[in-house]
A and B are shown apart, each in its own frame.
Chain A
Amino acid sequence: MKSIEVKQLSYRYSAETELVLQDVTFSVDAGQWIAIVGHNGSGKSTLTKNLNGLLAPTSGEVVINGTTLTEDSVWDIRKQIGIVFQNPDNQFVGATVEDDVAFGLENRQIPHDEMHRRVKKALSDVGMADFATREPAHLSGGQKQRVALAGIIAMQPAIIILDEATSMLDPKGRSDVLNIVQELQDRLHVTVLSVTHDLEEAALADQILVLDGGRLQATGTPKEIFSQVALIQRAGLTLPFVPQLSEDLKDSGITLPETYLSEEELISALWQLHLKM
């Protein structure tokens, strides 16, 4: 089943301005992880806002789990989508961690016992159970994003959107958050859409969409995308470390059979070459 379908979507902020999104078409299968990459100003955030109805398409349509996004369906559709935003400090409402996670559930009038159960489960899913009664302000950036994520898990959405959710975190915080999302995707089969300019993060996705100047420039698996160096550069992005290293090795005369994503793959390919010497 298709979780997200975007059909010929165009968007402009006002009649006098240029199109920020032009004729964008793609679809995501349920349970997939998709990364939308592009530099600042490429149209990524505008696209995200069109997906949950914060903005309405100028033309084209958005279909979420089979339902077309309209003024009437927007409230039901928002229940299916959870978004973790960029700045960990801008998304807290509760006085304690557990209050914060419960906020969305209270809004939806989830019965008290059920709410308790879900909050507890969500906090343990993100490894923050010990922090339930702490004040959010005293947590590190990575911990805050994990709590934000718990707030979303508790709502049991079908789709999780990470909107530059790791760009303000230190390397440890970043990998903690991404590991948790990966595990959720595996275990609960949620669809993950990560909007990012970090291609190391995009490398975790099943599919990557490259956005530049409001247009979709390419779609493919990380391997397919990372083997197109010129495309990445045109889009104002930089290759992740391992594909970049492979490129530079090629330039200095070492022929590698394919594009590698992980250190292990590249090292074992190099070892093979070494043994053949």
Chain B
Amino acid sequence: MAITFKNVDYFYNMGTPMATAGLKDISLTIPDNSYTAIIGHTGSGKSTLLQHLNALLKPSSGEVQIDSRVITAETNNKNLKSLRKKVGIVFQFAEHQLFEETVGKDIAFGPMNFGASQAEALEIAREMLTTVGLDEKYFDVSPFDLSGGQMRRVAIAGVLALKPDILVLDEPTAGLDPKSRQAMMDLFLELHEKRGLSIILVTHQMDDVADFAEHVFILEQGQLIKSGTPQEIFNDYQFMLDHGLGLPKATQFALQMRQQGFKVPTLPLKESELVDLITKQLTETEQ
């Protein structure tokens, strides 16, 4: 399932003197079964764009095509439900949205809302609990007795319970400790590789962009200012630095090595690539 934006503008407070542009002339395609990163500063329009991905917001002008559905300013708010089942959004600090008495009921809430019977919904909930790497013993526990990282997993299980084709993640690892962070990024990769979900990741972590994304879109003040593969965008490191977006740690390290006098023919993005580069420099004799 692909998503295409064609010349999308979005204005907040449309038709009032307070109208401000949230998105300006955005055109982009997020292909089926892809892993996409969206980066940009606070206030760059990332969240506004995100809410267009399942028609929580509709473009003020232009159109968003989600699978075969075309969403424009005129689109009726009815019948958008099926769309929201296909595109699951995990908002920032999703654990704040938990509310049910038990973990199981919380995860089952979505499927029941979409017409599943209680028995069916609880069955799906049980499956999703293990999918996100939580033990079955938590099923009947109150979500509020869990740690922050576990609560976030429950919230993600609740979105996965709708069996979406596309999973949108808004800074999913913010505030987690390193182990939980790693486990969560591994989970998303597995969902992408083994279950064929498209992942759309909003992040400030350039290392995550380098390690996981296939394609990157960069937003600034509501506009798409750059897009490409991680290698393409980080090769233009001056652009990234000028726009205050930073670089993966390995790339930054390699640039400093270059300044010191080392030969760095291709910029590494990942730590393993940097290790290879250094090992080569220090073991191969100069010609």
A93, CB-defined interface residue at 8 Å: no
Q: Report how far A198 CA is from B41 CA in the complex, Å.
A: 21
Q: Report how far A263 CA is from B260 CA in the complex, Å.
A: 11
Known contacts A140-B42, A271-B261; is-contact A254 B278 (Cβ 8 Å): yes
Q: Which of B77-85, B111-119, B171-179 forms part of the interface with chain A?
A: B171-179
A241, CB-defined interface residue at 8 Å: yes
- Please indicate the chain A residues that have their CB under 8 angstroms from the CB of B174 in the complex: 167-168
Question: Could you say which of A40, A244, A263, A267 contacts B177, with CB atoms under 8 Å apart?
Answer: A40
Q: How far is the CB of A3 from chain B (nearest CB, A)?
A: 27
Q: How far is the CB of B182 from chain A (nearest CB, A)?
A: 7
A15, CB-defined interface residue at 8 Å: no
Inter-chain contact B275/A248, CB cutoff 8 Å? yes
* 8 Å CB interface, B31-73 against A: 41-43
- Please indicate the chain A residues that have their CB under 8 angstroms from the CB of B262 in the complex: 270-271, 274
- Please indicate the chain A residues that have their CB under 8 angstroms from the CB of B43 in the complex: 140
Inter-chain contact B282/A277, CB cutoff 8 Å? yes
A238, CB-defined interface residue at 8 Å: yes
Q: Report how far A263 CA is from B259 CA in the complex, Å.
A: 12
Q: Which of B20-28, B230-238, B249-257 forms part of the interface with chain A?
A: B249-257
Q: Report how far A245 CA is from B254 CA in the complex, Å.
A: 12
| Chain A 34-63 interface mask (CB, 8 Å, partner B; 1/0) | 000001110000000000000000000000
B135, CB-defined interface residue at 8 Å: no
Q: Report how far A19 CA is from B274 CA in the complex, Å.
A: 44
Inter-chain contact A249/B279, CB cutoff 8 Å? yes
Inter-chain contact A267/B175, CB cutoff 8 Å? no
Question: Could you say which of B179, B279, B285, B286 contacts A236, with CB atoms under 8 Å apart?
Answer: B179
Q: Report how far A248 CA is from B256 CA in the complex, Å.
A: 19
- Please indicate the chain A residues that have their CB under 8 angstroms from the CB of B287 in the complex: none
Question: Could you say which of A39, A244, A253, A268 contacts B279, with CB atoms under 8 Å apart?
Answer: A253
Say which size band chain B's interface belongs to. Answer: 35 or more
Q: Report how far A141 CA is from B180 CA in the complex, Å.
A: 22
- Please indicate the chain A residues that have their CB under 8 angstroms from the CB of B279 in the complex: 249, 252-254
A237, CB-defined interface residue at 8 Å: yes
- Please indicate the chain B residues that have their CB under 8 angstroms from the CB of A263 in the complex: 252-253, 256
Question: Could you say which of B148, B175, B274, B285 contacts A277, with CB atoms under 8 Å apart?
Answer: B285
Known contacts A254-B278, A263-B256; is-contact A248 B271 (Cβ 8 Å): yes
Q: Report how far A185 CA is from B42 CA in the complex, Å.
A: 29
| Chain A 99-114 interface mask (CB, 8 Å, partner B; 1/0) | 0000000000000000
A170, CB-defined interface residue at 8 Å: yes
Which residue on chain B has the smallest CB distance to residue A241? B249
Q: Report how far A249 CA is from B279 CA in the complex, Å.
A: 7
B149, CB-defined interface residue at 8 Å: yes
Known contacts A40-B148, A40-B180, A241-B249; is-contact A249 B175 (Cβ 8 Å): no
Known contacts A40-B149, A245-B275, A271-B260; is-contact A170 B42 (Cβ 8 Å): yes
Which residue on chain B has the smallest CB distance to residue A170? B204
| Chain B 173-194 interface mask (CB, 8 Å, partner A; 1/0) | 0111111101000000000000
Inter-chain contact A241/B271, CB cutoff 8 Å? yes
- Please indicate the chain B residues that have their CB under 8 angstroms from the CB of A172 in the complex: 41, 244, 246
Inter-chain contact B42/A238, CB cutoff 8 Å? no
B281, CB-defined interface residue at 8 Å: yes
Known contacts A164-B175, A245-B253, A277-B285; is-contact A171 B271 (Cβ 8 Å): no
Inter-chain contact A168/B271, CB cutoff 8 Å? no
- Please indicate the chain A residues that have their CB under 8 angstroms from the CB of B148 in the complex: 40
Inter-chain contact B285/A197, CB cutoff 8 Å? no
Inter-chain contact A171/B177, CB cutoff 8 Å? no
- Please indicate the chain B residues that have their CB under 8 angstroms from the CB of A273 in the complex: 282
Inter-chain contact B204/A197, CB cutoff 8 Å? no
Which residue on chain A has the smallest CB distance to residue B276? A252
Inter-chain contact B177/A197, CB cutoff 8 Å? yes
Known contacts A172-B244, A244-B271, A245-B271; is-contact A238 B261 (Cβ 8 Å): no
Q: Report how far A274 CA is from B177 CA in the complex, Å.
A: 37
Which residue on chain A has the smallest CB distance to residue B206? A171
B76, CB-defined interface residue at 8 Å: no
A86, CB-defined interface residue at 8 Å: yes
23 contacts between A and B (CB under 8 A): A39-B178, A40-B148, A40-B176, A140-B42, A171-B205, A171-B246, A197-B177, A236-B178, A236-B179, A245-B253, A248-B271, A248-B275, A249-B275, A249-B278, A252-B279, A254-B278, A254-B282, A263-B253, A263-B256, A270-B262, A271-B262, A274-B282, A277-B285
The 10 residue pairs across chains A and B that have the minimum distance between CB atoms: A197-B177, A238-B178, A170-B204, A241-B249, A39-B177, A236-B179, A167-B175, A140-B42, A40-B177, A248-B275
Q: A238-B178, A270-B281, A277-B286 are in contact. List 4 more A-B contacts (CB 8 A).
A: A40-B177, A86-B175, A245-B275, A273-B282
